[in-house]
Structures are given as structure tokens and as C-alpha cells.
Amino acid sequence: MKLHWFAEASYPDLPKDFRASGESSWVTTSTRHCKPEVVRDMSQMFIRLMQQADREGFDGLAMNEHHQTPFALTPSPNLLAAALANTTERAAILIIGDSLALYNPPIRVAEEVAWLDCLSNGRVISGFVFGTPMDTLYCYGIPPTELRERFHEARGLIEKAWAAEEPFAFNGKYTKLRYVNLWPKPVQKKPPVWVPGSGSVETWDLALQNDYCYGQLSFSGLHSAKPLVDAWWEHAAKSGYETNPFQLAFTQLICCAETDEEAEAKYSEAVKYFYRNRSVHPGFESGPGFRTEKSVRAMAKYAAQTNEKLPPEEKARANAGEMDFWDYDKHGFIIAGSPERVRQRIEDMVKELRVGQLIACLHMGNLDEETAAMNTHLMATKVMPHLRNLWSDYEDRWTPQAVQNARKLSEVA
């Protein structure tokens, strides 16, 4: 099994009454709350934590793209990737990912990923994402009915540019370029591609047909994810594809400490901060045409199945930051406790969901750096060594070969 380090780079200094004020945490959040010196300190902290994760032996360092929100101050994942590509040695630079429809022209993604792959000596994973409605429709003004067309056109251009050895012209509906001539070329002939999703059947087909890794990136844990993940594997099997665990990535908030009591003491406030400040105004959560009718119907079915395990009123309490710490753990929003308890819970979860790429969220909300560093160290030294052999019978085609070779050399040493 592969272990990747990730955290939403949440602004840690929102006022205590932010949720009660009724402000949306996305799109229209007042910038009067933002102190540049806080952003500086938190950004440097995240870089230090990811550099630590590289030294501790994590397989990947993950970063994403969001806009106009204190929930995740990562407007360009490629900027963070550049800071890490030159200051780390072994871990994959896992970009999950670039919102392709927001780039004009999207050839810029191909150029930047290729440059990052050279800088990191072949360690880049390129994520292609449709993006949230908040980011794409409301922050960047992309018409919802154009989003998928723009994404697929951009994806085709990027992959063709990586492969081409001579200049070519590109005459798309949204992008028209007389000369496409990529300098530099990536070290990897084609960087592995990951596609995060939230349950769209079309995204499943995209991942399966193109041999991309599919990322079920939620923060609601096992109980909420299981109906969707089960449906993904069923769809893959029915479509004639191998059900390889390494083709599925899953995010999980983890709160590890030396004892269960210490975990509650150190993480409880940060977990509640994380959930209560994700209050997106309902008007920003979607838009006409953002999802196809097929996906809307499928997601309604999965939501009904989820409600059987996690009642809506419990989910509402969790998202308001009102749930007890161990209730967050019981319902799967977090995995918390001593290293042995965390190890067992993770093992049960990844076996039940058939996950080969675990994206461990080891910082959340307003957690302090010392606790996040402890979390990272305990996961690397006391949890992950016991899980490494899971899924060893399967080929991992979605982690760069340079990263896998580095892992083998470290194990021999």
C-alpha cells in the first residue's frame, strides 16, 4: 500500500463566531479576515511538514487547487509543487490537481508539469480535475454546460503535447494554437494521471478507459464513502477492467498520538474547527448543467444508502463542528487514537474499500505544527510499516517509477 501526505491548507485564524455569522466559507468570504502574515507562517509550515514527510518515507506529497476560500489556500498547486520538487528527494509530487477548464490556454499545464517533472527527476503525478462548482462556476465564471467540454479538450491537448516530438497545430472549440511545441519534455514519457471525483459515473469511465487513478476525495470517512466506492468497483468489474486497488485513492483524516487520551486532547479543537468552517453557501454548491442527469440520479441513490449508515442529522452535527471527538471517530470522519488503534482502523478501512493509495490528512483546521509533525512521525514509524505489504500482489502503475525505485532501495538499506 502507498501512503501520501496531504492537508487542506486551511486558514487557522478565523473568528470564533465565523460559522454563526452566516458567511460562506467559499467565494464571498470577506478578506477582512485575512492577515498576510498568518498566510506566510501557515504556508511555510505546510512546506516544512511535507519536507518532513519526504524524509520520513511517505510515497507522495499531495497538493490541490481551490480559489477564494479560507478552507484551502492553494490557488496554484504547481507553485507549491515547485517549492517541494527542489527541496525533497524521494516522494512523488502529487498534484491533485490542476483544474484544466480554468487554464487559458491549457497548454500551460503541460509545460508546468513537464518542468516540474524535470526539476523533481521524474517524480510528478499529474492530477486532472473538473473542479468544484464553487471554484469553476462562481470564482472563475466558467459556464457549467461548457465545463466538461473544456476539460476534455484541454486533457487531449496536454497528453498530445507530452507525446509529440514535432510542433503541431491545435484547433479546438475553446483553444486554437498555431504552434504547440512543448519545451521542456517531461522525464517520464507520460506522467501518471489521477482524476479525483465525487461520484460522477462519467468520471469513473474516464479513469477506467484511460488507466487513470480515481480519487474518492471526501472528508466524511468510511460510512459515507462505502456506497460510492462499492459502486465504483462494481462498475469497473462490469466494464471488464481489473479491480486493482492501486487505481483507487482515498482521503482520510487521521489523528495519531501515543495514547487515545492524548489524541483527544491534542486534536479535538482542530477537528471541530476544520468541520465548522467548511460552511459553503448552498447557492454555490452546484449549478444547472454542472452534473449530468445520469450522475445526479446515481448520486441521489448513493446518498440514500449513506443515510442508512450515517443519518442526516448526525452529518449535520459533524459539519457544524458540534460532534463529540469520539463520535467523529465512530462515524469514520476521523481515525484517531494510539498507533496500534490507528493501524487497525486503517487496515480495516482499506481492506473494506479496497484502497491502494491512502491519502492521509495529517493536519486539519488550526492544528499546531508540533502536533502535525508528531502525527506525521507516528504514521511513518509506527503505523505504515505494518501496512506496507497490503496489495503486494498487484502492479502499481500510478506511482512514478522513480518513487517506487527509491522505496525499494530504502527497504534494502
Sequence-ordered strand ranges (E) for 84-229: 92-99, 124-129, 168-171, 176-180, 193-197, 213-216
- pLDDT value of residue 413: 67
Rounded Cα distance, 175 and 172, in Å:
5
Q: Which three cell numbers stand for residue 218?
A: 471526501
Q: What is the DSSP letter of 320?
A: T
Question: Is residue 65 a contact partner of residue 135, using CB atoms and an 8 Å limit?
Answer: yes
pLDDT at 26: 97
Residue 306 confidence (pLDDT): 72
Running DSSP on this structure, what letter comes out for residue 212? P
Q: What is the DSSP letter of 381?
A: I
pTM for this entry: 0.96
Angstrom distances, CA of residue 236 to CA of 26, 198, 244, 349: 34, 16, 10, 20
* Average pLDDT value for residue range 276-289: 92
pLDDT at 305 over 80: no
For residues 231 and 245, give the distance between their C-alpha atoms in angstroms, rounded to a whole number. 14
d(Cα 208, Cα 391) in Å, to the nearest integer?
Answer: 19
Name the more confident of 386 and 198.
386
Pick the CATH number of 2-412 from 1.10.3720.10, 3.40.190.10, 1.10.8.10, 3.20.20.30: 3.20.20.30
Q: Which three cell numbers stand for residue 171?
A: 484547433
| Residue range 397-407: mean pLDDT, rounded | 95
The pLDDT of residue 270 is 98
Cell of 86: 527542489
Averaged pLDDT of the chain: 95
Q: Shortest CA distance to 349 belongs to which of 220, 242, 241, 237?
A: 220
Which of 223-232, 338-347, 358-367, 381-390 is the least confident region? 223-232
Which among 174, 64, 172, 69 has a CA at the least distance from the CA of 126?
A: 64
Q: Is 53 exposed, middle or buried (0-12, 13-18, 19+ CB in 10 A)?
A: buried
Residue 301 has pLDDT above 80, yes or no: no
Residue 291: the pLDDT is 82
pLDDT at position 409 is: 85
3-state secondary structure of 323: coil
Q: Say if CB 9 and CB 42 are below 8 A apart.
A: yes
Residue 60: per-residue pLDDT: 98
Q: Is 139 helix (H, G, I), strand (E, B) or coil?
A: helix
Q: What is the pLDDT of residues 183-195, one digit of tens each?
A: 999 999 999 999 9
Domain ranges of the chain: 2-412
Other CB atoms within 10 Å distance of the CB of residue 175: 18
Cα–Cα dist 377/356, whole Å: 21
For residue 53, what is its C-alpha cell?
Answer: 514527510
Residue 298 has pLDDT above 80, yes or no: no
As a whole number of Å, the CA-based R_g of the chain is 20
pLDDT tens digits for range 68-124: 999 999 999 999 999 999 999 999 999 999 999 999 999 999 999 999 999 999 999
Coil, strand or helix at 188: coil
Q: Quick one: which H or E segment has residue 63?
A: strand 60-63
Give the Å distances, CA to CA, from 272 to 55, 182, 264. 30, 46, 11
Q: How many CB atoms lie within 10 A of CB 371?
A: 20
Average pLDDT of 272-301? 88
- pLDDT 10s digits, 348-367: 999 999 999 999 999 999 99
Across the range 128-150, mean pLDDT stands at 96
Q: Residue 172: count other Cβ atoms within 10 Å of its Cβ.
A: 16
Sorting pLDDT into bands at 50, 70 and 90, what band is 42?
Answer: very high
Task: Say what the pLDDT of residue 311 is.
Answer: 81
Distance CA 222, CA 354 (A): 11
